[in-house]
Amino acid sequence: MLRFTLNRLVMAVPTLVLVSIAVFSLVRLIPGDPAALMLGDIAQPDQIAALRVDLGLDKSIVQQFVIWTGNVLRGDFGRSIVNGEPVFALVTERFLVSAQIVVLAVALAGCLAVPAGVIAAWRQNSLADLVLVGSATVLLSIPTFWLGLLLLLLFGLKLGWLPVLGYVSIRDNIAAGLIYLVLPVMTLVIHETGALIRMSRASTLEVLRLDYVTHARAKGLSEAAVLWKHVFRNAFGPTWTMIGLILGHLLGGIAVIETVFTVPGLGRLMVDSILARDYPVIQGCLLLVAVSYVVINLFVDLLYPIFDPRVVAE
Amino acid sequence: MKMPGLNAMIGAFLIAVLLVIALVGLFWTPYDPMALSFTARLAPPSVDHLLGTDEFGRDVLSRIMVGARASIWIGTLTVGFATACGTAIGLLGGYSRGWIDRVVVALNNTLLAFPGILLALGLLAVFGANEYGIIFALGIAYTPSMARVVRVVVLSLREREFVEASRVMGNGALYTLLRHILPNCLAPITVLATSMFGWAILSESALSFLGLGVPPPAPTWGNMLAAGRPFIEQAVWLGLFPGLCIALTLLGINLLGDALRDRLDPRMRGTR
């Protein structure tokens, strides 16, 4: 177990290094002089030169990367060009806003979808299965931003149950904060339930066909015991891995949800920085989400043996 | 599912409708999709304007028809780009093995470490937020998925007898790759390219919705939804129809993709 853990930890290091190189080079790929782009058309040559020195652009690429990495490791992501705020504080604050929505949504979606998928597979080709799979495929096909708009229209504008604009942090006011989370979380839960039902059903179906399930039934175990002890425990692995992937994908794609519900999260920050060409903030957002994706997948891998001890032995 | 044939037919029907709408929109729309009309602002669906008009009095149906063209165009170019590059990289890595393969895998894994449309967002900052920026950004973001699938297939194919035979007969590597290996990769490539078309249409509409896609006044389903958002209370149709088009298109692609996967590549069943 220790060896398995260490192995996975060491394997994540090269990915993290490559990801940071990619984030660093992405900003270098922008055509033209970053300093001139940042200052805009009215900049004087001496202003541009000063910013170049300030950003370290007069040094060699390798030197720049070393300096940048050193700064990042110390938590110094530079300052926003638009408002001069330190990027690290800005992105971590916004990250927490996005993360609470995503984690809550995936946890709820998992609780709904995994049992639904198991039931659909258990009663394969029954009416319940057809309805579950059919609605899962439909849910999967509805874009989150449209679903969000429809829910906003229904619960916010027509029924007036939930707020339409604005955001209150749960740190300032728990009750009010939770109310603002309902619609974004509900939208993501509805969408992700579709993907997870299909995954959970497919992996359960594979296990149901295996001989030891027939054996467990033949020795007279109750259907509930067969499903829980023999089927579910062996079928949950792929779904668990997918939950990790979905967590990361939602963090990467949450900008649309935050735009619909005017939530000040990381996705919206990134889009606004792209529109404003605020490169240090773009870099900070990219790095933070990519690193958390690597960490989430690592975490998922490390917890995997709890459901499926066979992976440690391999 | 009991009737995969039925699902595939529904999927094919939805995609056929989309293609017809886009094709007709090339030559004819009920109104000029850009024509402003201050007398017909926010008009509800009626005989004159089947799907109503927007805040500038533009005909929603005409704009949806032209938007379908934009979606298909961007989707096709994106998938074409990703499929061409991904297949070439996958063939190269899988067939040559050794250090070239290691470089390919390392680059691939790096790009795959960026979740969802995050990489596309980062690349959009490089290419600029416009139609061709989206195609390149999404194309590059999807390339590693294609390369990974092709590489794995090539790795197993290159050990097969018919490939060995081709090598022994003195055929060059390029000939062997194109004549014997590539044709055997086409099934998984088709399956992935179909889902990719769905990802591309979804991502394009999401990026346009965020204001990072095709800039207004040119209509796309995504920027129509974004523009209609402030008016959805008075004009429900502005929030309804463009989204419905995206959802039906994606449903068609998903149904068709599932059927294609079951038929062509049983190993990939159950993956997203």
Q: What's the complex ipTM?
A: 0.85
Quick one: A139 and A110 in the same domain?
yes
For residue A260, the chain B residues in CB contact (below 8 A) are 229
The pLDDT score that the predictor gives to residue A248 is 85
Domain assignment of residue A307, yes or no: yes
How many whole angstroms separate alpha carbon A269 and alpha carbon A168?
17
The reported pTM is: 0.87
- Enter the tokens of residue A242: 């997918």
Q: What is the distance in angstroms between the Cα of B42 and the nearest Cα belonging to chain A?
A: 17
Give yes or no for A135 touching B (CB within 8 A). no
Whether residue A19 is found in the same domain as residue A136: no
Q: Is A103 on the interface with B (CB under 8 A)?
A: no
Average pLDDT over residues A177-190: 89
A130: domain CATH number is 1.10.3720.10
Answer yes or no: is A80 within a domain: no
Write down the pLDDT at residue B271: 42
> pLDDT higher for B198 or A11?
B198
Question: Is A58 part of any domain?
Answer: yes
Query: Are A57 and A182 found together in one domain?
Result: no
What pLDDT is recorded for position B86? Answer: 95
- Round to whole Å and give the CA distance between B254 and B248: 10
Which residues, including other chains, have CB under 8 Å from residue B155's CB and lie 6 or more apart?
Answer: B94, B97
Statement to judge: residues A154 and A258 lie in one domain? yes
Residue of chain B minimizing CA distance to A143: B247
Residue A155 and residue A47 share a domain: no
CB contact under 8 A, B247 and A206: no
Question: Nearest CA to CA, how far is B250 from chain A (Å)?
Answer: 5
| Domain membership of residue A56 as a residue range | 2-73
In a domain, A83, yes or no: no
CA-nearest of A313, A307, A184, A286 to A242 is: A307
Residue A313 pLDDT greater than 80, yes or no: no
Chain B contact for A170 (CB, 8 A cutoff): no
Taking contacts as CB-CB distances below 8 angstroms, the residues of chain A near B115 are: 245, 248-249, 251-253, 289-290, 293
A153 and A208 both lie in a single domain: yes
Please report whether residue A188 resides in a domain: yes
Cis? peptide before B44, omega within 30° of 0: no
Calpha distance A107→A147 (Å, rounded): 19
Q: Is the pLDDT of residue A146 over 50?
A: yes
Of A73, A101, A130, which residue is a domain's last?
A73
CATH topology of domain B4-27+59-266: MetI-like fold (1.10.3720)
Q: Are residues A151 and A37 in the same domain?
A: no
Boundary-marking domain end, from A17, A40, A73: A73
Give domain status of residue A84, yes or no.
Answer: no
- Of A73, A106, A132, the last residue of a domain is A73
CB–CB contact B106 A22 (8 Å): no
Q: Based on the fold, state whether residues A64 and A99 are members of the same structural domain.
A: no
DSSP state of B44: P
Work out the percent of chain A whose per-residue pLDDT is above 70. 96
The answer as to whether A152 is a domain residue is yes
Mean of pLDDT values over A96-106? 92
Q: Give the count of domains, chain A.
A: 2
Q: Do A65 and A97 belong together in one domain?
A: no
Do A146 and A240 fall into the same domain?
A: yes
Domain match, A48 and A105 both: no
Q: Partners of A79 in the beta sheet?
A: A86
Is residue A60 situated within a structural domain?
Answer: yes
Residue in B118, B233, B247 closest to A143 by CB: B247
Does A203 lie in the same domain as A69?
A: no
For an interface test with B, give the residue of A274, A286, A288 to mutate (most B CBs within 10 A).
A274
Mean pLDDT per 10-residue run, chain B (272 residues)? 72 92 87 78 79 82 90 94 95 88 87 84 84 91 93 88 87 87 90 92 91 85 88 85 93 90 64 40
